[in-house]
Structures are given as structure tokens and as C-alpha cells.
Structure 1
């Protein structure tokens, strides 16, 4: 209806009602409509946090973070606001500067407790004075002996998926985006860095100020404290590490600026100003964590030849898929990780060529096949759209989200053509920048902006909502891997291998080589391989991990490999590596051996890793 042509038909009262209703509708559209959240107690459609001012002190003697979290809130005529809290001691709560009542609800093992704070419908700020406890899962306090330089203690946080609530009382849902500033007090010998604008040198008094002006999801709040140095790679990229690691890290990540340029050329401007990486102690549970402006990385990617730097490309890609456009709930996790793997491989292709990109994709395809096989009795777990009701979001953090998500997107690309797909993705990131998205909202956008305009019929429902892999999948090939397989075959046939065939192999080629050992491999074969390539003493962590897995599977004990496996599991806390090896022990009926090692190594693991292995080995302290 064209209102301007119908004005004369209505009385002034009706006109007032019409235009009044329209104004209310506009106001309603300004209010964010949050999706139902299974993993947070918050009720953001009633009252939501918008900005955090964090003022905390880090005490290494007591291993406690204490201070005050002050929030500016969006108050929709509410009488209360609910935050998430787990293993925190709440000392006092204020509303608009005056002390108010609060209640911690019933404790849930996964979710913690709802922190319900009494407010008025006019309340604009709340402030929570609190302390962490010795049960706080996001924090890992490390002794000097557990660091690279072995001189000072170290602390880091890990918030994904729902652990930020264990070190800050917060509305811990990915769809609740906030800006923040922080003041952090640490021992003057140490430096503090956060997922924010960061210092490049230590302060004299150990007091650090931070600002994150772009709205981020709570799981991306991050803090690290240690004896750190910074070295720039370019004006907007650089590395933090302990002194003994800084030069190695700087060399390993010297292509960071090239990666950022390649990413921008693909899908638009990098919107976070700075892209730095901090190399953490080896207990860090992930390969990397895409905390905005400051990626947290494991030292296991320091190989000396840049062969494992696809991890940096992956975390950089998260600056678009995950940090800029975020999964609204953990059921939509593939929207973060499937897109990021696709983007990572495109960055690697742009910087290092198609051969290397396809090898990365094929390793991921192998991981996917292995994951699907492991879920053969639970096929529902191979759907992209998850159902995590009553489950920990960590249950969805596997190859399905990453590699099935990637395969779906690559199949789409090959169906519509790369040029059209790149235009679509660039617009997708721009259109949804600094917002969150559900699977259903993405599919509507996909249909309206890619499939329908190009008259493409695609089985999206099967890819997203059905288990397994549809038949219309992209087929990935690699000539380099074909040569690896030929070399493996010849070696097993006792053909002498010329060193020139393997001397220029990348990590990916070695991983493919070792992964493809046949089940008929004998101890004699393993011994020949080890004598030829000294794999039991591999310093490359990825090569070592896949070799150790095969040694466990094939009951190989030569060349001190048993001790090297134990040393590796005590030294390295990266969950993927640790879980792979303990799974191999468990699968091969070697649980007692696994438990003997785990009793020595568990204290070195972050709670994310320890919780996974506790469950795998049915371990009770």
C-alpha cells in the first residue's frame, strides 16, 4: 500500500495510530533478536551486556585473578539480568553504582551457575567484584619449569567454547558480542597481552591497559601473562614469544604479511588493524586459537621450515569466518570452521601454490574419513548442523565441522564456478560483518544470493542435515601424493629408495607416507623405515605424532620409540596430538600403558585436554 496516496482516506486519529505503529516497528527492528541458546543461562532478549570494563589483578602466588567486571547493558524494561558463572567467587554486585542483590543458581557440571542480578528498568550498568578459584577451567598457571626459558611463571586463558565464564562472570554465548577495555596488573617482571590493542614492551610497574573497540563474542576474550618479547614482521603483523623462542617464531611466521595480503585480495579488508601471534608454552591445548588481533599458537608448529604454517593461515582466516561473522550457537559451529578451512586453503594456494593447498585438503579428507568411521555407530554425529542439547560444545569440535564443512563449500565452488563463489563469499562477509548467524539464516542467504540467481539446484539439505557425505562431492587429487604412494610401495617391495626422492618432501608428504602404511606392516618393515629415516627421533611434531601412532598400532618398540612417545606426551599438551596417541593405546588394548604415562603427563595439560583424556581412559584422580 502506498501511504502517500491514501492519506486523505484516514482521520487524524487513524493516521496517528498508523504512523505510531510504524515507529514502534522500527524500534523493534533495532533490538537484536537472539536465538535460543542451549549453553548459556543468559536471557539477552530481556537484558544483554554490551561493553565490558575489566579491572583485574593477576596473583601468581595464590594463582588467583581478582577484580571487577563492569558492564554497560541493554535493558529492555527488565527487573533482572542473568550472567554465566562457573567456579567463581562472587564478592559483591552493584547496579548503577549501588550495591544490589544477586543469586547464584543451581550448579550444572557443564554450564556452571546462573548469576541473577536484581536491576531496575532504568539500570544502565552492573559491576561484579569477583575472584577465580583453583577449579577455574579457562586458566592454566605454569611454573617456570613448564616454560621455554624456565625463569618466570606463565598464565594463559582458553575460552572456547564455554570457559570464559570460569574466569570472568559474563553472558557466555557466541551471539552476544561486546566491546571491552581492561586494566590488568601483573608482576613487573612480566608482560600481559590480550585479544585487544597490545603493548610492544614491558611497563615499569606491571600495569597494562587494553582496548577492543570491535564487538567480539565472549569466547574470544583472552589473556596471557609471561616473560614475553615482541618482534614485528611488518607494520601490522608480528610475534610474541619467550626470549629463547622469539627468533625461531619470527622466522617461522615471516610470511604473515603475505598471508594477510592474500586474504584481503580474496575476501575484503582485514578489519582488526593488527594481526599478531603469541607462541605459548607447549601445554596450550589447541594448535591455535583465533583470538582477535592476537592468535594464540602452540610451539609444536615451530618446525624450522615453515611447513606447518597453514595453522597461521587458518587462524588468520578466522578473522573473517568466526570473528567477523560468528556462529550464533554452538550447533552452528561448522559456519566458523568449515568456512575457515576453505579460506585457509585458498590463502595457502595464493601464497604457496596449488600443490600444497591440495595436499592440505587431502590430509583433511583423510581426517574426515577417519572421523566418519569412528562415528559409524552414531551417524547423527556426522551432520553439519549439530544437536548439542545436554552435551558439551566440545563434542562438536571435530573433523565433521572442519573438513565436511570445507568439502561442502569446495563442492559449491566447483558447482557454480570459483569466480561467482568468490564474489558470493566476499559479499557474505561484508553483509554480515560483526554479527552472528545461524545455519538457517546462512542457507536463506545462500539460496537468495548464489543458487537462485544462477539457476543452480544443489542438495544443501543433504549436506547440512543428513549424516555422511553426499555423492556429489568435490574430488581432490595430488600428483605429489601419488609419488609418495609409489615410493611407499617400492620401499615395501624392498626396492632401494634414492634419497633424492624424499629429501625435498614437505611435512604433508611425510604425513601421507606414514599414514598409508598397510595393516600388514611387520616389525621388520618398521625397523627398515626407522633405520632409513630415523622417524622415532623426528623433531617435527606432526611427523612424530603420526609415526608414534603407527608404532602403537603396529606394536613397534625399536629405536627407543617407547620412551620418545612418553616424553612427547609429557611435553606436549596439544589435544589433537595427545588424544590421537592415547586413542591408539586404548584401541590396541594398551590401556595400562596409557594410564602409566597419563599419570605422569596429566599435570602438564590444560583442562581442555585433561577432560578429554579423563573421559577416554575413564580416569579418576
Structure 2
């Protein structure tokens, strides 16, 4: 039987008046802001889904983790709402094996469409209802891009394997058949069965902390999240995982051998939650825990609800890199609660979060630390803008036909944050804070667009003030390249002192005689970033000997030093470089180092290729996806 396409159904419904601009979305009982009963769905170039016709609003997973076959297998049961006459729902899948689709009453017809770059395939399922549940029996493939299966040797403990997921931006479809668009929010529940000696954790409330014994000797863990989230925030980790509380509603999960060090790094997490609530309202997600992952995790952190996934590269031993935790915590409001509707407006997630992160850091560590962070962001932004074409320097992007990861640049993060700081500076902090807290409340659980942001700020902050509208230059910030004329470069007094020490070194003062005192990480980053472009081997050796840079336990300092060493083809730093690149897979560090090595011709290219071939099997697909075109370009 040939079924009409979703496009034809949409056109017919629209002509008949049966398709409203806002489709009904079931109400979910949650603490804090209420889920809206009407949602404006936005066309998403990175999803096959047509939520205005039929949409998923709850995902229930029953999966078993098979480490021998590197496979999750089982059933995804989806609760669906459809418009009258729809007849079908379209899901996103990529590298999934679909074994059957059924309703509670029996099998359902389905078709799998053609593969599209980055997007995978559409899974179109016939549905005989406007409200109901379907069950999809499926399994993942070993190459599923969201999942990384680690051998015991790739973990800290070395005894048990490990699994973790990373769904952002459009990788959830590689392990869950659903509508994988940030604008289609879904609640979820799960039963995850794992080997008897392992523990599963998810970005949801853990209903069975100790697991349930299964007849075949394994353990099953149950989870539920009643706050609807974009599907990229559905996340899982399985391994030898222990837990230690940090406060009444905060704690850290990690491998047992990492637990003491990890807990010691994050004593301020509870205070961070309190500071964030003081700024912009109650934390609605219940708990805020951290999962410190094995070193192959490709990002610094991922803001999965209730359970931030974090790289061990932030474990410096001196609590100096906790701004990352402040960043992921801030996402509980900007990103998790108010989410970009599509990846073209990624800045609505990240620009707001960088701004909010800085406010948390200021509240906990004081204005000077916050100013240093802003100054580093300015430097990073300037460097990245110099490499980006003008069309990729605007906050609102056009990523159609491109991998949405291409929008994950300093533009979304730092230009977005400087835009918000410009508004704060222009209207005053108290007035800006009042608007921003209201923005989170008014738009909770809504997929946001830049147009909606502009409408909100014009109604609730600018309020018809033409002079203020002109002073803010909002269209220039959002749609134009570079930075508008009202952007203000941060000025850090601490960095002025750092620059004096750089000048002293340039003038011949031995490194050991520089006044580095009790510098924090940000001062060291600025010091290393301000050193001359060209230095002698003797100067490099002096710096390394005086400050132990090649042995630095702080990943940000070590990375900055290794970038200098590569630029100068400094052989004594090669062992540290090799250990760093083979010991972790954080893309923020690996990608620039491989690019820098490949640019160094006969010295760096063979080194990059040798290290990469050794390290590649331990990297997440997100990391290899970026590095392969660089190192394997030939």
C-alpha cells in the first residue's frame, strides 16, 4: 500500500485549516516553570522529522549493553501525538539496525529512506492513531558515532570496559530512533541492563541506585526524567563507577581510582548551584552531579541534565579549572531549559551560558578572576575570527547542508557572551538581570530562535526606546561579521602585571627570577599566550626548567606550552607532547595540536602521523571526525 507523504499531508491539513501554527504538546508535571501547552515548531535542516504533523513526546528505553559485540540492543517505546489524518510519523536514524516496529495491537508498516550526509536516514512509520505508543526493536552498530566502547586498558582502573554517549549535536539518532531535533523536547525513562559488576548512570533520576538482579546474572538500572529535554541531552554511561556526595544535592561519579581526586577538585559545586539560583531562579532539575569520564571524552564537559559529563583533563589538583563546571551548570538554564530550536541559533545556548558562567565565577571567586576569564575569551575570539569567513562570524548562522558541529566556534560562545555583556553594560546590571531571569521563566521548555529572542528583548527590555535600540546595535551583532563598534575589550589589572613579566623575560631576566608568585591558571595562560612568536631553544629550555611546563598537571597550561613547543620545533618537549596526545581525546586540545604539527613540514608532519596512528583507536568518533581530514589528508 502506498501511503501519502508527510509533505502532502501537511499541505492538505494546512489548506483545510487543520494544521495550526502551534501544535499541541502534552503538559508534563514538573517543578518550576510549566511546560507550555502550545509549541511553535521550527523547520530543522538537520532532522527528517515533521513535528507539526506528528511528534514524539516521551521515549522509554529497554536496552542491554553487550560489550563483546559493542552493541546496545532492545526496544525504544515512543509516545506520540499526531494531527488528525496524519497517518505516519518520521524519525531520525543513523547506523541503527531496525528489527521491527509495532503498536500495542500488532506490527506496523515502516520504510527506511535514503542516507543523507550527517543526517542519516528517515524512518517513516505508519500510525493508526493520533495519540498512542509505538515500539521499535533495534540494535546499534559498533561504529555508532554517539557511543564509545572502551577496553579495560583505556580506563583508569584497567579492569572493566566502559561505555559512554555523546549526543550533541545530531548523534542521538545513532543510538536511539527518535526525532533528533533540539526543538522537539521529550521526557524519557529507561531500563538499562549491564554486566553484574558494572553500574549504569544516565542524565535522569536514578530509580534503582543498586540495580536489580536479572535472572541471567546481570543488573538492570532504571531511570526517569520528567522534565522534557531536547534529545541530544539523553545520555548514558556504563562502567566501574563509584559515587561520592559533595553536598546535599551534588556529588561526583567516576571510576573508583579517580574518586578521591575528583571529589577534592569540586568542593565549591554546591556553592555554585546556590550562586546560580540567586542570579536567575530555582534549579529545577533536582540533583546536580558530575560524571568524570575516561580521558577519551571529546569535550570539556557536556551539560546532560542532572549529570554533567566531564573530562578528567579538568582535574588539575588545585581546583583551578572549575570554570568548566560553572559553564555546564549554567546550561541548566540556558540550553537545557531554554534551547535553540535549530543549530543555526546555537549562540542562544552557548553565548548565554558563557555569560552566565562568568557571573557564577564572579560570585564565587571575585571580579578579578571573572575579568581574566573575559580577557582570555576576547583573545580566543579575535584569533578565531581571523580564521573564519565573514558568513561564519555572525551569531545567526545558515548551516543547511553542513555538519552542525561547524557552528561550534568561538562566535557562538564568546561573541554571544560579549553581545550580552554589551546589553548589560548599556542598560545596567540590575535591569539586565531582571530581564534575563524573566527570559528564562517566559521561555522555559520552548525551542528558541533568534527572532523570538529579539521579540522578547524588544518587548520586555527595550520597550520602544528608540535610542536604546540604536545603542545596542543588535542586528549588527546577530547578522553581521566581526564585532560592532560598541564592543569593549576587557582590561584585566592582573594581566597587566603578567605582561610586565613577559617583557622582563624578553629583556633577559631568567625565568626563575620572574615574579610569578601565586598565579592562577588564567595568568599562566596569558603569560604563555603573550610570549614572543619567536624564541631561542635556550629561552624555551629556561622556561621549561624554571616552571616545569612539560610536566604540568594542569591541562590548559600544558596545552599552551605544547603549542609553543610545536611552533618552535622544540624536540625536548616531544615526549610530553606524545604522552598528552595519546593520553586524552579532548578535541579542544587534540585538534589544534595536530593542525600545528602538520604545519611544521618535515619536522611535524611525520610526528603527527605517527602519534595519531597510535592514539586514534582511543579517540571518540567526534575527535577522529575532526582530526582525520587533517592528519590523513594525503
TM-score (norm 2): 0.91
Q: CA deviation at 1:520?
A: 2.7
8 Å Cα contact 1:188/1:203 also seen in 2? no
State the Cα deviation string for residues 272-307 of structure 1 (Å, max 9, x = none): 011000000000000000000000000000001110
- Per the TM alignment, residue 352 of structure 1 is displaced from its structure 2 partner at its CA by 0.3
State which of 436, 452, 460 in structure 1 corresponds to 2:447.
Answer: 436
How many Å apart are 1:449 and its aligned residue? 1.1
- Seen in structure 2, the aligned counterparts of structure 1 residues 392 and 338 have a Cα distance that, compared at 3 Å, is same
Answer yes or no: is the 8 Å Cα contact 1:85–1:113 preserved in 2.
Answer: yes
Does the Cα contact within 8 Å between 1:200 and 1:229 map onto a contact in 2? no
1:128 to 2:136 alignment: yes
Aligned residues: 596
Q: Deviations over 1:369-415 (max 9, x none)?
A: 1101111xx21111110110100000000111000001111111101
Q: Does 1:402 align with 2:402?
A: no
Deviations 1:107-134 (A, max 9, x none): 1231000000011244511110000012
Query: 2-side partners of 1:27 and 1:54: how far apart?
Result: 25
1:461-484 CA distances to partner (integer Å, 9 max, x unpaired)? Answer: 000001111111123111111111
Q: Which residue of 2 aligns with 1:510?
A: 524
**Match for residue 611 of structure 1?**
625
Tell me the secondary structure at the aligned position of residue 227 of structure 2: strand
Q: Structure 1 residues 460, 236: closer, same or farther in 2, change over 3 A?
A: same
Residues 465 and 439 of structure 1: CA distance in aligned 2, closer, same or farther (over 3 Å): same
Alignment partner of 1:356: what SS? helix
**CA distance in 1: counterparts of 2:592 and 2:599, whole angstroms:** 10
What is the Cα deviation at residue 517 of structure 1?
1.4
Deviations 1:96-115 (A, max 9, x none): 44101111100123100000
- Cα gap change, 1:266 to 1:465, in 2 (>3 Å): same
Contact 2:208–2:222 (CA<8 Å) still a contact in 1?
no
2:287 to 274, 277, 284: 274
Whether the 8 Å contact between 1:200 and 1:230 is mirrored in structure 2 is no
- 1:102 corresponds in structure 2 to 110
2:562 maps to which of 548, 562, 574: 548
- Show structure 1 runs of 5+ residues with no match: 1-20
Q: 1:96·1:123 contact (CA, 8 Å) conserved in 2?
A: no
- Secondary structure at 2:39's aligned position in 1? coil
Residues 147-189 of structure 1: CA deviation (Å, up to 9, x unaligned): 1111111000000000000001010000000111110100110
Distance in 2 separating the partners of 1:193 and 1:199:
10
Q: 1:200 to 1:368 in 2, by over 3 A?
A: farther
Pick the aligned partner of 1:569 from 578, 581, 604. Answer: 581
Deviation at 1:212, TM superposition (A): 0.1
Distance 2:150 2:498 in 1: 41
Secondary structure of 1:35 counterpart: coil
Q: 2:429 aligns to what?
A: 418
The match for 1:383 among 394, 407, 422 is: 394
Q: How far off its partner does 1:58 sit?
A: 0.6
Describe the SS at the equivalent of 2:40.
coil
Aligned partners of 1:474 and 1:391: how far apart in 2?
A: 32
Please tell me whether the aligned partners of residues 504 and 514 of structure 2 are also in contact (alpha carbons under 8 angstroms).
no
1:591, distance to aligned residue in structure 2 (A):
2.5
Q: What SS is found at the alignment partner of 2:164? A: strand
CA distance in 1, matches of 2:132, 2:363: 48
Map of 1:175-186 to 2, 5 A cutoff? 175-186=183-194
Query: Equivalent residue of 1:308, what SS?
Result: coil
Q: Secondary structure at the match of 1:468?
A: coil
Deviation at residue 540 of structure 1 after TM alignment:
1.0
SS at match of 2:339: strand
- How far off is 1:498 after superposition? 6.2
| 1:301-380 superposed matches below 5 A | 301-375=314-388, 378-380=389-391
2:306 to 293, 296, 300: 293
Match of 2:126 in 1: 118
Q: Decide whether the 8 Å contact of 2:69 with 2:142 is kept in 1.
A: no
**SS of equivalent residue, structure 2 residue 135:** strand
Distance (Å, rounded) in 2 between the aligned partners of 1:486 and 1:555:
27
Helix, strand or coil for the counterpart of 1:212? strand
Give me the TM-score of the superposition, normalised by structure 1. Answer: 0.93
**Partner in structure 2 of residue 5 of structure 1:** none
Q: Structure 1 residues 348, 611: closer, same or farther in 2, change over 3 A? A: same
Q: Which stretch of the first structure deviates more once superposed, 490-499 or 250-259?
A: 490-499
User: 1:269 and 1:31, CA in 2 relative to 1: closer, same or farther beyond 3 A?
Assistant: closer
Tell me the equivalent position of 1:528.
542
| Range with greater deviation from structure 2 (519-528 or 476-485) | 519-528
Deviations 1:482-534 (A, max 9, x none): 11110111012112456682241111111111111111322221111112112
State the match for 2:590 in structure 1. Answer: 578
| Shift, 1:201, TM fit | 4.6
CA deviation map 1:51-110 (0-9, x unaligned) = 111111111111110010111111102111000000000000013441011111001231
**1:478 and 2:492 correspond:** yes
State the superposition RMSD in angstroms.
1.9
